[in-house]
Every structure is written in structure tokens, then in C-alpha cells.
Amino acid sequence: MKAKPKQSRYLTLVLILGLIAACTPPAEKTAEPTSIVEADPLPSWNDGPRKEAIISFVEDVTDSASPNFIPVADRIATFDNDGTLWSEQPIYFQFFFALDRVKALAAEHPEWKNKQPYKAVLENDMPTLMQQGEHGLLEIVMSTHAGNTTDEFDSLVRSWIDTAQHPVKKRRYTELVFQPMLELLDFLRANDFKTFIVSGGGIEFMRPWVEGVYGIPKDQVVGSSIQTEYDYNNGKPIIKRLAKIDLIDDKEGKPIGINRYIGRKPVFAAGNSDGDLQMLRWTDANPLMSFQLYIHHTDSLREWAYDRDSHIGKFDIGLDEAIEKGWTVIDMQTDWKIIYPFEKNQ
Amino acid sequence: MKAKPKQSRYLTLVLILGLIAACTPPAEKTAEPTSIVEADPLPSWNDGPRKEAIISFVEDVTDSASPNFIPVADRIATFDNDGTLWSEQPIYFQFFFALDRVKALAAEHPEWKNKQPYKAVLENDMPTLMQQGEHGLLEIVMSTHAGNTTDEFDSLVRSWIDTAQHPVKKRRYTELVFQPMLELLDFLRANDFKTFIVSGGGIEFMRPWVEGVYGIPKDQVVGSSIQTEYDYNNGKPIIKRLAKIDLIDDKEGKPIGINRYIGRKPVFAAGNSDGDLQMLRWTDANPLMSFQLYIHHTDSLREWAYDRDSHIGKFDIGLDEAIEKGWTVIDMQTDWKIIYPFEKNQ
């Protein structure tokens, strides 16, 4: 369970940095105006077998006369975040936060000008940054995420997420959430499902903003974490964030995190990569009726198209197993009328 | 944050075992029949300053016109379990589970007949068990709580909690929860507080039964934990419970656990010992209006009377600080009409 950085999907980030410059150009806005049907719980989803499968599942398991009825306490739905609830290209958005933190902290660390991996970040020298390897990446994450208090880190994230812009889309990152998934979250909650995030991203990176953006309370966020330390601090208690990994909530870490935080198997899980496969299998192992959703990024125009061996991680085992097991594989290009909320007004 | 067994309140358990024989005799049933007033949210609480303080706080912070108004998302209430929601004498109930597990497992471990600390448990030889020290206690806990899967452990706890009897009260352990606290939980939830357990007890020991008994979902339980490991197990995934401590959710571990699982400071906290003091201080540090409840065990007849340096732990720093800071100290004998739910029918 404990951190094995070499197993982490994040380590592939090192490979990513050189690709920022080469990434997909901004999506053109081609979405048709949506006609919202009053009774449609998923108005941004195109009609078809995937939308039908979701609605049928929810209607079935919430019908007390159905043999597949699921009691309310067991209606646990878990969602990966990066690539499932919001975009993850050209790299995981949290890594942009880390790079921005290096730049913000540079004045306090004059030595960084001549010290890798910081030098490469400060000079936007991506090829060199790529060569820093796992150790360099971990150093960037720890030096930008640890060494402060939980309250301080919360403020840093809030102010970044409120202002920072995605380098390609030129939008705030929280504008790059998937409108169809917001509707799915609402639809599940309207049917007494409890919705959770289960992400490889940092738990304290997500908590400051997911309540407002996804309607998911802080205590329903499972993510990667670092160790902490309580300090009474002369009557003004604080919790310090230490540069030691606690949980990497990816791959095997996802069922571990689900067990730690939620304490029961989900009946609904959504993901988009090999890092989500263990969560999907864990959900599939629930003796209750369950639903597995696998997002396939197929829309190079409105979002990004990638799968199999992408620069941000592996997707092939998950996709193959999803198809083989008959899980519901979403084709973003076909199944979603719009991708982002701002397209509603276009 | 990581386990330092020597800091744990559980270690005092070693001292306890010799005292079982000498513990308080069964409480006589002296509670007056309660007259349930329709509009009274806390019918088992006697009128007085403590009951008034609780009701005033809730009315104040849920009044949108009040300067002390607390938004719903911030209405986090955390409750210690042992000694706060149910009794904890003559020892923490979870330790009876561990002793019963040693006896149940003895047939598979013939060597235990001649090996300490098991020999002492099997022979009910409490003086010798007391001499086994910290190492012996930890060995009992690990050998009875680890080495199985989460599903198996869940079943073990369920079947024990459904059948085992308290040695003194001759009641099932879940009958020994505090009726006034059940009413308080309901009252807070009716006012949109989210109620959590934050206990030194094992998280997976509590989760199987707290939903039914306290109305607290499994994912709103914070407790001590051991490390786990995911195993795909040829397509039938399991999570194994390892004999390694993850979090001791006591003392400094309580704010750590609150931060890990809940992600925000509570506005309401209830405890009864020095092990709860850090949680109460953490809540008191909330810039929002907050409430601290400290249960003082004063009723030797209906429950148990103990404080200061008791055989099950320390209570004096917490009690002194509660009084000094003007926290609400409950006198069980004075403030509670009845202690246990079964007294309602007597």
C-alpha cells in the first residue's frame, strides 16, 4: 500500500514535459446548441446505448421491486478525476500547479537558479527537465507541496485555481470539467447515490475546489497524500505537511484508498486509464449489481484524442478489459453533445 | 503521525486486565420513566445549563440571520466513541473482542497453550497477562485483527457484536450506547450537521455496526487502522489486513485523522478523555463558532464513575482544560435522565 513511486502514473509526467510544445491546438467550438429536454437527466449525452445503459442501471437498482435493488447505504459511486471528470492534457493539471509553485518560490530559493530540477523549470527547459528522472520529479512535488501547513496549502491551491489559465485552452482549469459528467453526478445524487472522487491527484489539491465545482464534499475525496504532523503551536494548533508520501491513490492504491476512506465496495465506478482498472475491478467484484464506466478520449477537436500508450500514461489494458467485460465504454466524440460547460452558451 | 504504540491509550489496557474481577457490580435500574415531550429534541437530557447550551448553539449557528451562522458544508460534528457514545468499562469493548478471538483461534494454534501472552488469555490468568507489557498487548491485537481479508474481518466483527455479552452488564455491547448521545446525534443531523466518529478504536472494528446503531455511515468513521494490501487474487480481488500499524487515531492522531478523512476542522466535538483533548483543541481553533462537549463519568450506579488517573487512561488534563476553557462538561449523573436505551422500557 505504501508509496512505491516507481509504480506511480505520475512518474510518466517526466516524459510529458517535452511534449507540451507539441500538444494539440485549441479545440474549435463546433458543438451544436443543445436542446434541453425537461425530463432528460443527462441532456448533454447523445441518445444511444451508453446513455441508455446508465439510465437503465439507475432505474433498476433504485426500484425496490427489482431483484437488483440496492439499499441507499450501498449506493456508493466513485469517480477518477484526471481524464474522467476534467481533462488531463497536455499533462495532469496539478503538475502545472507544481511548476507555478516553483516559479513563485524561486525568489526565496536563489540557489534554484543553478540547481536541477529547478533550473530547468525556471528556464522552461523541458528537455533538461525530462532528464531529471523520477528523483527530480519527486523533488519538485515535495518542495512545492510539503513544508507548509494544511491551512497555508489550502490558500495556495485556492488562489491558483481561481486565477491560473490552461496553457492551451486559455481557460481556468475548473472550466475544463466535463459537462456530461457533472450531469451524471447530479443524476446519481438525485437517486441517493453518494458520490466520491478517487483520484491519483493530491487529496489536498482537490479538496479546496471540488465542493464548488462537482458538488462533492471534502470528506468524499480520496486521493494521494503525504504524511502530516500535529503541532499544538502554543495554543494555535496546526497540521504540518511533511515531505513523506503516505498513499499513492493509483492502481492498487485505489481499492486500498476506497477501503480506507469509504469502507465498502462501490456499485458504480468511472475511470479512463490503467490506473483506474483496479478500482473498476474492485467495483465489479461487488456482489450487488454494479456499473463500470470507461471514458475513451476520442475527440481530437473538442478535447484530445489519446489511448493505448499515451505520453501521460497507459490506457490499453484498461480499455481492452473494459471491452472484454462488457463495461460501458464512452466514446466522447459520439456520446457527448458538449464537452465543457462553457459550450452551453456557444 | 505514524504509529508510536507507546503513546497509545490502548497500552493502558495491559493494566486493565487484572481489574476485571474487581470492577463495578451491575448497575441497578433506577432511572425514572421518561416523559417524552413532543418538541424536545433531547428528551433524555435533564433541563439545565448543559442541555440549554447545546440547543442554543445549534439554534444560533443554523440561523441565517445570526452573526454566528455556519454554512451547511462546515457543519462537521465529531464524536469519540469509547466513553463518549458507549461505555468503556471495565476495558474498551474492542479488547473483549480480541480476547474472544484468541480463544476462538486457539484450536488452530496449539502452541498458544504454552506461549505468552496467549497462555494467559486462554487460562484467564490476568495477573500474568498484565506482565506481558506493551509487546504482549500488541501481539494479541495483531494476531487477532490482521492476517485476514477485509471481508472476513467484517464478518467476524458482525457475528461477535451480534452475540457477545458484556461480562458485567450482561447485555450485548451495542445495548450499552448512551441514549442521550443518540438523541444528540439525531438533533445535529436534523440541523444538517454531518456526524462523524473519531475514535482510537479500530476503524474496521466499528464500521460493521455503527450504521445501524448510531446512524453514522461507514465512510464517516475515523479510527485506528492497520496497513492493507490489494491482491487481484485471480479475478476475485481481496484486500488483506497486514500486521503493521497505519494510524493510531488517538491524541495527536485525532486531528491528523480528522484532516486525513474529513479535510476541515469540525465545529462540534465530543470526547471524554485526554485522548480527545487534541481533537477538542482542533475544533476550538476553528474560526467559525464551535462547541466542545466533555463527558464526565460520574454515575457509579447506572454506569461507572471514573476520572483523573483511571486504570483505562488519563482524564485529568482534558477535564481541567475543559473547565478552564468553559467547554460544556456533562455530569452524567445530573444531566442524563437515562443512560442506556433499554432503560426507556423500565
Q: Which residues of chain B lie closer than 8 angstroms to A236, CB-CB?
A: 285
Q: Tell the burial category of A92 from Cβ atoms under 10 Å away from its Cβ (0-12, 13-18, 19+).
A: buried
Residue B48 scores a pLDDT above 90 = yes
**Residue A21 or B119, more confident:** B119
Residue B228 scores a pLDDT above 80 = yes
Chain B residues with a Cβ under 8 Å from any Cβ in chain A: 1-2, 73, 76, 150, 194, 196, 203-204, 207, 211, 217-221, 225, 227-230, 232, 236-237, 239, 242, 252-253, 255-256, 259-264, 278, 281-282, 285
**Closest residue of chain B to A196, computed from CA coordinates:** B219
| CB pair distance less than 8 Å for B237 and A255 | yes
Q: Quote the pLDDT of residue B53.
A: 98
Q: Quote the pLDDT of residue A16.
A: 37
Q: Quote the pLDDT of residue B38.
A: 57
| CB pair distance less than 8 Å for A219 and B194 | yes
Of A225, A230, A236, the CB nearest to B252: A230
User: Which of the four pLDDT bands, split at 50, 70 and 90, describes residue A310?
Assistant: confident
| CB pair distance less than 8 Å for A217 and B225 | no
Mean of pLDDT over chain A: 89
Which cell numbers hold the place of A309? 500508450
| CB pair distance less than 8 Å for B237 and A194 | no
Of B204, B218, B263, the CB nearest to A207: B263
| CB pair distance less than 8 Å for B259 and A218 | no
Q: Which of A1-15, A224-238, A316-330, B289-303 has the lowest mean pLDDT?
A: A1-15
Residue A223 scores a pLDDT above 90 = yes
> How many angstroms separate the CA of residue A220 from the nearest CA in chain B?
8
| CB pair distance less than 8 Å for A219 and B263 | yes
**Inter-CA distances, A58 with A184, A185, A289, A329, Å:** 11, 12, 10, 17
Which cell numbers hold the place of A338? 458538449
Mean of pLDDT over chain B: 89
What average pLDDT does range A74-78 have in this prediction?
A: 98
Q: Which residues of chain A lie closer than 8 angstroms to B217, CB-CB?
A: 73, 194
Q: Tell the burial category of A105 from Cβ atoms under 10 Å away from its Cβ (0-12, 13-18, 19+).
A: middle
Of A218, A220, A239, the CB nearest to B256: A239
**Inter-CA distances, B336 with A39, A328, B35, B317, Å:** 51, 55, 13, 24
What average pLDDT does range B264-271 have in this prediction?
A: 98
Q: Quote the pLDDT of residue A20.
A: 35
What average pLDDT does range B105-117 have in this prediction?
A: 95
By DSSP bridging, strand A309-310 and strand A313-314 are antiparallel
| CB pair distance less than 8 Å for A1 and B218 | no
Is it true that the peptide bond before A117 is cis, omega within 30 degrees of 0? Answer: yes
Q: Which residues of chain B lie closer than 8 angstroms to A232, CB-CB?
A: 278, 281
Q: Quote the pLDDT of residue B129.
A: 84
Contacts (Cβ under 8 Å, ≥6 apart) of B169: B26, B27, B87, B175, B176
Mutate to test the interface with B, among A230, A233, A264, A325 (most CBs of B within 10 A): A230
Exposure string of B29-49, with b = 16+ CB inside 10 Å and e = fewer, is eebeeeeeeeeebbbbbeeee
How many percent of chain A have pLDDT more than 70? 89
> How many angstroms separate the CA of residue B187 from the nearest CA in chain A?
20
Report the alpha-carbon distance of residue A222 to residue B219 in Å, rounded.
11
Q: Quote the pLDDT of residue A129.
A: 84
At B59-99, the pLDDT tens digits run 999 999 999 999 999 999 999 999 999 999 998 999 999 99
Q: Tell the burial category of B125 from Cβ atoms under 10 Å away from its Cβ (0-12, 13-18, 19+).
A: middle
What average pLDDT does range B303-314 have in this prediction?
A: 82
CB pairs under 8 A between A and B: 101
**Closest residue of chain A to B253, computed from CA coordinates:** A230
Q: Which residues of chain A lie closer than 8 angstroms to B237, CB-CB?
A: 255, 278, 281-282, 285
**Closest residue of chain A to B196, computed from CA coordinates:** A219
Exposure string of A207-218, with b = 16+ CB inside 10 Å and e = fewer, is bbbbbebbebbb
> How many angstroms separate the CA of residue B296 from the nearest CA in chain A?
23
At A106-125, the pLDDT tens digits run 999 999 999 999 999 999 98
Q: Quote the pLDDT of residue A237.
A: 98
Q: Quote the pLDDT of residue A91.
A: 87
Which cell numbers hold the place of A94? 496539478
Exposure string of A325-334, with b = 16+ CB inside 10 Å and e = fewer, is eebbbbebbe
Q: Is A248 helix (H, G, I), strand (E, B) or coil?
A: coil
Pick the CATH number of B42-91+173-345 from 3.40.640.10, 3.90.550.10, 3.40.50.1000, 3.30.70.3270: 3.40.50.1000
Q: Which residues of chain A lie closer than 8 angstroms to B232, CB-CB?
A: 278, 281
User: Which of the four pLDDT bands, split at 50, 70 and 90, describes residue B311?
Assistant: confident
User: Which of the four pLDDT bands, split at 50, 70 and 90, describes residue A12?
Assistant: very low
Q: Quote the pLDDT of residue B126.
A: 80
Residue B175 scores a pLDDT above 90 = yes
Q: Which of A14-23, B31-40, B82-91, B202-211 has the lowest mean pLDDT?
A: A14-23
User: Which of the four pLDDT bands, split at 50, 70 and 90, describes residue B134?
Assistant: confident
What average pLDDT does range B197-209 have in this prediction?
A: 97
Q: Quote the pLDDT of residue A311.
A: 74
| ipTM surpasses cut 0.90 | no
Q: Does domain A5-19+44-341 have CATH number 3.40.50.1000?
A: yes
Q: Is A94 helix (H, G, I), strand (E, B) or coil?
A: helix
What average pLDDT does range B131-155 have in this prediction?
A: 91
Q: Quote the pLDDT of residue A68.
A: 98
Q: Quote the pLDDT of residue B140.
A: 92
Of A76, A217, A228, the CB nearest to B1: A228
Q: Which residues of chain B lie closer than 8 angstroms to A203, CB-CB?
A: 263
**Residue A25 or B158, more confident:** B158
Angle at the Cα of B253 (from B229 to A220), degrees rounded to 5?
60
Q: Where are the domains of chain A?
A: 5-19+44-341
What average pLDDT does range A326-337 have in this prediction?
A: 97
What average pLDDT does range B34-47 have in this prediction?
A: 80
Q: Quote the pLDDT of residue B27.
A: 41
Q: Quote the pLDDT of residue A82.
A: 97
| CB pair distance less than 8 Å for B73 and A204 | no
Task: Please say whether the beta carbons of B269 and B78 come within 8 A.
Answer: yes
Q: Which residues of chain A lie closer than 8 angstroms to B219, CB-CB?
A: 76, 194, 196, 219-220, 261-264
Q: Quote the pLDDT of residue A38.
A: 57
Q: Which of B28-32, B71-75, B181-185 has the lowest mean pLDDT?
A: B28-32
Ranked by mean pLDDT, the top range of A28-37, A301-310, B211-220 is B211-220
Q: Quote the pLDDT of residue A123.
A: 94
Q: Which residues of chain B lie closer than 8 angstroms to A194, CB-CB?
A: 217, 219
Q: How many CB atoms lie within 10 A of CB B283?
A: 29
At A229-274, the pLDDT tens digits run 999 999 999 999 999 999 999 999 999 999 999 999 999 999 999 9
Which cell numbers hold the place of A329? 465504454
How many percent of chain B have pLDDT more than 70? 89
Q: Which of A14-23, A166-175, A208-217, B173-182 has the lowest mean pLDDT?
A: A14-23
Report the alpha-carbon distance of residue A161 to residue A209 in Å, rounded.
8
